[in-house]
Amino acid sequence: MARNFLHAFSGDSAKSAEHEAVSVIRSNDYARRVEILDDFEQAGISWLWATDADGHLVYLSEKAAENLNKPISDLLAVPLTSLFENDPDNPDENSDRPFKYHLSKRSKITDLVVRRVPQTLGREDRPTWWLISGHPKFNDSGEFQGYRGNAKDVTVEYQRKLEDSRAAEFDSLTGLANRHRMDSRLTAMLAAFKAANRSCAIMMLDLDRFKQVNDTMGHAAGDELLKQVAKRMVGVIGENAEIGRLGGDEFQVILPDVDDRGKLGELAEKIVKTVSQPYPIDDKRATIGTSIGIAIAPYDGVEKDALVRSSDLALYAAKNSGRGQYRFYSASLKNEEDERRLLVEDLRDALANDQVELHYQPVVRTDDHMIVGFEALMRWVHPERGGVSPDVFIPIAEELNLINQLGEWALRRACQDALNWPKSVRVAVNVSVVQFSNSGFPDIVMNALASSGLEPERLELELTESVFMGDSETIDNTFRILKELGVRLALDDFGTGYSSLSYLRSAPFDKIKVDKSFVDSCTQKDKNSAKIIAAIVSLSDALGMETTVEGVEAFDQFKLVCSKGARYIQGWIYSKALRLEEVDEKLGSGEFRIEPDGPERYRPDRRTVFRRIGAIHEDHRYEVVMRDLSKSGARFEGMLGVPLGTQLVLDLGGGQLVVCTVTRAKEAMLGVQFETPLVSDGAGGLCTRHRVSPYDLCVAGMPVSALPPGNYPVHQDASRPSSKPKFMQVAASGM
């Protein structure tokens, strides 16, 4: 319309009028643009921002400054990157490059979510997220002038997205990662680590006795317990690992770049001890434990499924070994699951066919070495497998709900057997938490005493702190009835829990039993076990209770615990558990006295073994048989003519190579000292801290079939000549 108006004029006057009209239009257009931009900014549809070539703000909408709770004067000339950064929790995949990177590369920015830098938040400020876009500006000479862009507050929408993302990847109860996140994290990590030949350890955890908490205290208490367990695990493990709850009472820990089994074992022990502390729940205390299976890539698997399977088998072995333990995966565990399934079937038959029997270990008075009692210990002699450890079949009995039947049988049999002993000799019977929580347990005790005719004061019931997990009123009532019956009560495994003093105050115990774990280390100078034993004995004396020290095997331990005031000892230095016939024969002949007998010094790390291993010298391998193994050395048979000081490498299997030096040699029997000590495998055995990668073993010539499942680059050189062996290999005796 304006253009048509200008065409109506001609000549100079027309040209002059045209210029004036253009100026008016441009002025009106500029004013209109400013008005529109003002309306745009004030409406909060979007804000404008601009920076100079150095990244400092030169313009910012007033509404944007209000959103940041700062005056514009405080924001201009401030680097934009000092106000905003990438959000590390951003669930979007397009945020992998840092905000600073975009600005430094002077690239276009499109709908990038940035978070206000936490350090810029005041006390009353809330976390803020902006959706930001920007274009780099260049002058006609191509010189960079800065950025021009727009932004808006997306805090509400973004927080909702974060919550949705968290709900999809995190456990709503504990706040830990869920199974989906742990699976995806482990898969991605193993793929990246495989290319870089890096290691990654995983721990699989399962809570022991958690079902009893749900059954006795309710599911709400179980949920609260899981929250507390998660919090404790985070406190122990820290930020260098990913912790997840896979469901129920099952947890998983991913530890990148860790293959030191010594450190992993120390961490596992710390987790077991921390998780096993009592939990305050609704004015009650719940006591649980945990078992841990550990597998390490690439040694125990190079793919997620293989590694998880290995950790599951290790966990299974830890639970079957008595619980409250950790176990590293080894190839020998592959058949344990099948073995246990067969044991489950066989245990029912064993109870029906009297394959389970009681053996009795003497409790001896140290002053005169006289027998004052026996502890009844269950033994299962399987017709094909031989002896099955109670640490294996007792948990099975608990899971099959056979423990009440088994416990009642043991109580009746022990009372019956003890009736024939001298009246000065007592019998002690272990009572599981499942038995004790049974409201009919006092009646079972009364019936056992009545049917046998045994005096109540000659029966001693051994309890652990876990019996206090149930309803306090029921517990107090059971204690009251038992004391009215006149039976004795002993607190077993004292010192291994975390609230024993409160139990001593509230329960009428007659005896405290010092746990074997303190005795094992009581002669070591860097341990406090001797002081703890002395403190327990003094506490027991002050409370008018007896103290029995368990697990004494050697004279150095015997002398130490006696010097700390121990009056009663139960351990191999006096006797192992005896069959009933042996007990009757000893007591029937009037042999109430047992002289202590054992080694002078206790060697906790020496183990007698019979195991085929490899001994490598230069490039030749000798097949030998290991007889003894300790943390610092070994004794093996099978090589002749080896001088003292010879360096060898022992192949213990599974990538476990140990550098050692020959320190003793007698014919074909050699003793060696390890360059690096072994560490505990969590199951009473020993293992190397580190292993040789299966990739390296493959290159060195080990058959692929002997390696963990996975794809390996085979570069074996079969044409490389080997030197002649310098020593003679001979067959080990007894083979």
pLDDT digits (tens, 9 = 90+) for 627-656: 889 888 999 999 999 999 999 989 888 788
Q: Is residue 630 a contact partner of residue 607, using CB atoms and an 8 Å limit? A: yes
Q: What percent of the chain has pLDDT over 70?
A: 85
Crossing angle (nearest 10°) for helices 403-418 and 441-452: 30
Q: How far apart are CA 428 and CA 416, in angstroms?
A: 13
Residue 442: asked if its preceding bond is cis (omega within 30°), the reply is no
Q: What is the pLDDT of residues 24-60, one digit of tens each?
A: 555 667 677 777 777 777 766 788 999 999 999 999 9
Q: What is the pLDDT of residues 413-462, one digit of tens each?
A: 999 999 999 999 999 999 988 888 888 899 999 999 999 999 999 999 99
DSSP structure class, residue 708 = P
Q: Which of 620-629, 677-686, 697-706 has the lowest mean pLDDT?
A: 697-706
DSSP structure class, residue 411 = H
User: What is the sign, positive or negative, of the torsion defined by CA atoms of 634, 639, 640, 644?
Assistant: negative
Q: What percent of the chain has pLDDT over 90?
A: 40
pLDDT at 7: 40
> Taking Cα atoms as reference points, which of 213, 117, 638 lies closest to residue 437?
213
Q: How far apart are CA 111 and CA 555, in angstroms?
A: 77
> Taking Cα atoms as reference points, which of 375, 536, 200, 245 lies closest to residue 528?
536
Q: How far apart are CA 388 and CA 378, in angstroms?
A: 10
Q: How far apart are CA 131 and CA 111, in angstroms?
A: 6
pTM exceeds 0.75: no
pLDDT at 184 > cutoff 80: yes
Long-range Cβ pairs for the range 606-615 (8 Å, 24+): 606/630, 607/684, 607/685, 607/686, 610/734, 613/650, 613/651, 613/652, 613/653, 614/650, 614/651, 615/639, 615/648, 615/649, 615/650, 615/651
Q: How far apart are CA 316 and CA 702, in angstroms?
A: 29
Contacts of 536 (CB under 8 A, 6+ apart): 494, 495, 512, 514, 547
Average pLDDT over the chain, rounded to whole?
84
Token duo for residue 726? 């310098």
Residue at 313: amino acid letter: L
